[in-house]
A and B are shown apart, each in its own frame.
Chain A
Amino acid sequence: MEKRTQAIFFLTCCLVMAAGVIYADLKKGYYSPAELGSVQQTAPIELMPDSNYQVSAYPVGALELAVGDGRQDVQIYCNTCHSPRYITMQPPLPAATWEAEVNKMNKAFGAGIPEENTKKIILYLQAHYSTENRKQ
């Protein structure tokens, strides 16, 4: 009986030690696949000793708008003055706030979006970027 207990104890120790060795191996040399270099280095632009001081074009990102009815209206009208990141950057906003924002573009900023498209844009933003709907 005592021998059996000893054997079980010994075996348990061996198992634990083996597990421990594998476990110890984990804290070193752990690499994980990842997308490196997502911010590329830009090549310097050629400078001339004249009076013109210029920089290269400002980078704009890919369109990240949610797919849905009204997306094209946002692309056409909102994109005139600003990129869609102005939308995706916002926190989830109440439906009334989105309506007020679009109305501000028309009234204060003279965006001149036709009434029908204005409605579609408001509904689109409320459907995808409001407190009730935006989860990710």
Chain B
Amino acid sequence: MDGPDRNAYEPIAPRGHESAIHPAFGVFVPMRDPGSLIKTRLTPLIDLANSSEVGACPMNATERFLLRRDLLKILGKASGGIAVSRWLGPEVALAQEPTRGKAIEPFTGPGANPHWNSVGPYVAEPQKAPLLLLTDRPVQLETPRHYFRTAFTPNEAFYVRWHLEGIPNAVDLKSWKLQIEGNVNKPLALSLSELMQKFKPVSLAAANQCSGNSRSRLQPRVPGAQWGNGAMGNAMWTGVRLRELLDKAGAKSGSLQVQFQGLETGQGPEGLGSNLFLKSLDLGNPVLDECIVAYLMNGEPLPILNGFPVRLVVPGYFATYWTKCLTWIRVLNTPDENFWMKTAYRVPDTPRGNTTPEDVKAGTLRTVPIERFPVRSFVISPDGSSKIPAGMNVALRGIAFSGFGRVNRVEISDDDGKTWMPAKLGEDHGAYSFRTWELSWIAKSPGRYSMAVRATDEKNNTQPDEPVWNPGGYLWNRIERQEIVVGNAN
């Protein structure tokens, strides 16, 4: 195959920053002017203060700003402000100091990340809406919470996670072929056109979740991509059954596993995990019958960052097996012992993959490759950014899913788990899809409410309320909570 045009990165050049090509690697290394941060932050304020557009007030904006703040402080201290404003009329009521929206802290810890999402800035990557940046090279992006109001996650908002920095910037479909090779009777090389024409297309709704989704919840914190809850997405995947391709090539007797390789490459030495990202599944694993080699995602071509031209879909399994830009399907007659199978993406062979730092240190822990994701559910709205007036009948909304089958019960508790109210489930798009839920809820009186949500799947797995800890930061599925502030309605 011709090497696709890989690995083109362009520096974002914020004001006051200069960039330079790093002499040793030809990699763009932006240089920072030490004074630039201060300059950038102050410039708009000074500009505004000196501007004639501030208004008729002879004071400049800074002074006006300070005067208001001081008055507020004085009024606040007298603490008669609100009481007096009551009889001054409704216009005056409820006035509060408008606070300037501050940028979020750029990291969290050593405590757990208290936010629903991770804390990076928004970034606009090719074919993507602005998403939350974890890392820029290789690219890791998280989906903001509000995109989970619907059962299907839009392609442009779907999270992104690559392991190696050689991510393709282009794929030439004239030379690209999906190759089925290794321990087979008849190796195949299929163009995208052949995949679309010669095989019956099948569609399946399936949730895709990163093994490390919610890693930033773990205590003590573990190294790795510090995901909030947005390393997940759900899509309608359309493509060819993997089983059909394997049958056509014909695995020879003695075959053990099938290995998947995409176009992703790294700078590391050959044979190491820093050079290639490889994942394998046992040939006897029944999940192979459900796998799809997908060329459509929600009825559209996949964004390159999500695996154009084709991606492996492994329903119910963590995304580590969903190879992006899938190009080589290799039948093996020896077990795959590459880094990404033997060392990485392994979980303790214990209930929920739970362990302790002490047991890890003792070095006696048996581990197994991570597989299916446990049942999870989330409150998506309200998200805690607004108050709810007491007595208002509001809709609580969210999603639930499980790698072990259909979610058939979602319950909400507003009394910290003493009583549970059943939520109404949305349309059933299939066993592996996100399922929306909704519950109308009235806050009787003002105060702070902690809404807990838990889901149960058809295998009767229910979310527990205990945390999980393992050194990889995998398998988090504790009951989620959303604080809701209810205000006075009169």
Measured CB to CB, the residues of A under 8 A from B are 16-17, 19-24, 26-27, 30, 32-35, 38-42, 45, 51-64, 67, 75-76, 79-83, 85-86, 88-93, 97, 101, 108-112, 131, 134, 136
Q: Is B368 an interface residue (CB 8 A)?
A: no
Chain B contacts of A91 at CB under 8 A? 107-110, 113, 216, 221, 226
Whether the Cβ atoms of B223 and A101 lie closer than 8 Å is yes
Bound complex: CA A82 to CA B95 (Å): 49
Known: A23-B72, A93-B221. A61 touches B136 (CB 8 A): yes
Whether the Cβ atoms of A79 and B44 lie closer than 8 Å is no
Show 22 residue pairs from A and B whose CB-CB distance is below 8 angstroms, ordered by the A residue.
A16-B80, A17-B84, A19-B81, A21-B88, A26-B97, A39-B122, A40-B124, A41-B124, A42-B124, A53-B308, A53-B309, A55-B127, A57-B9, A60-B10, A64-B32, A82-B165, A92-B109, A108-B272, A108-B273, A108-B274, A109-B273, A110-B268
> Within the complex, which residue of A55, A62, A110 is in contact with B32, where a contact is CB–CB below 8 Å?
A62
Known: A52-B172, A91-B108, A108-B273. A63 touches B31 (CB 8 A): yes
Whether the Cβ atoms of A63 and B32 lie closer than 8 Å is yes
Whether the Cβ atoms of B136 and A62 lie closer than 8 Å is no
Whether the Cβ atoms of B30 and A27 lie closer than 8 Å is no
Whether the Cβ atoms of B95 and A23 lie closer than 8 Å is yes
Q: Is B94 an interface residue (CB 8 A)?
A: yes
Whether the Cβ atoms of B124 and A110 lie closer than 8 Å is no
Closest 8 CB pairs of A and B: A91-B109, A54-B170, A57-B10, A55-B126, A109-B274, A51-B174, A83-B137, A30-B98
Nearest to B221 among chain A residues (CB) is A91
Whether the Cβ atoms of A58 and B5 lie closer than 8 Å is no
Whether the Cβ atoms of A22 and B71 lie closer than 8 Å is yes
Minimum C-beta distance from B178 to chain A (A): 15
Chain B contacts of A101 at CB under 8 A? 223
Bound complex: CA A24 to CA B61 (Å): 19
Within 8 A of A (CB), among B129-156: 130, 133-139
Interface of A is mostly: loop
Bound complex: CA A81 to CA B269 (Å): 11
Chain A contacts of B114 at CB under 8 A? none
Bound complex: CA A109 to CA B44 (Å): 45
Bound complex: CA A63 to CA B95 (Å): 42
Bound complex: CA A63 to CA B65 (Å): 34
Whether the Cβ atoms of B95 and A26 lie closer than 8 Å is yes
Minimum C-beta distance from B275 to chain A (A): 8
Binds A, one of B20-28, B428-436, B480-488: B20-28
Minimum C-beta distance from A74 to chain B (A): 11
Whether the Cβ atoms of A90 and B98 lie closer than 8 Å is no
Whether the Cβ atoms of A58 and B85 lie closer than 8 Å is no
Minimum C-beta distance from A59 to chain B (A): 4
Within 8 A of A (CB), among B157-195: 164-165, 167, 169-174
Minimum C-beta distance from B335 to chain A (A): 19
Bound complex: CA A51 to CA B173 (Å): 5
Within 8 A of A (CB), among B92-108: 92, 94-98, 100-101, 105-108
Chain B contacts of A39 at CB under 8 A? 121-124, 130
Nearest to A58 among chain B residues (CB) is B9
Whether the Cβ atoms of B92 and A60 lie closer than 8 Å is no
Chain B contacts of A33 at CB under 8 A? 44-45, 47-48, 61
Whether the Cβ atoms of B95 and A24 lie closer than 8 Å is yes
Whether the Cβ atoms of A111 and B274 lie closer than 8 Å is yes
Q: Is B395 an interface residue (CB 8 A)?
A: no
Bound complex: CA A51 to CA B88 (Å): 71
Bound complex: CA A54 to CA B266 (Å): 20
Nearest to A40 among chain B residues (CB) is B124
Bound complex: CA A53 to CA B261 (Å): 20
Chain A contacts of B101 at CB under 8 A? 34
Q: Is B290 an interface residue (CB 8 A)?
A: no
Whether the Cβ atoms of B8 and A57 lie closer than 8 Å is yes
Of residues B133, B170, B266, B274, which shows the largest number of chain A Cβ atoms within 10 Å of its Cβ? Answer: B274
Minimum C-beta distance from A101 to chain B (A): 6
> Within the complex, which residue of B32, B81, B105, B274 is in contact with A20, where a contact is CB–CB below 8 Å?
B81
Nearest to B19 among chain A residues (CB) is A62
Chain A contacts of B8 at CB under 8 A? 56-58
Known: A110-B268, A131-B110. 17 other contacts (CB 8 A): A19-B75, A23-B72, A23-B92, A33-B45, A38-B122, A52-B171, A58-B8, A59-B124, A62-B17, A62-B30, A63-B32, A81-B267, A85-B134, A90-B226, A92-B109, A92-B110, A131-B109
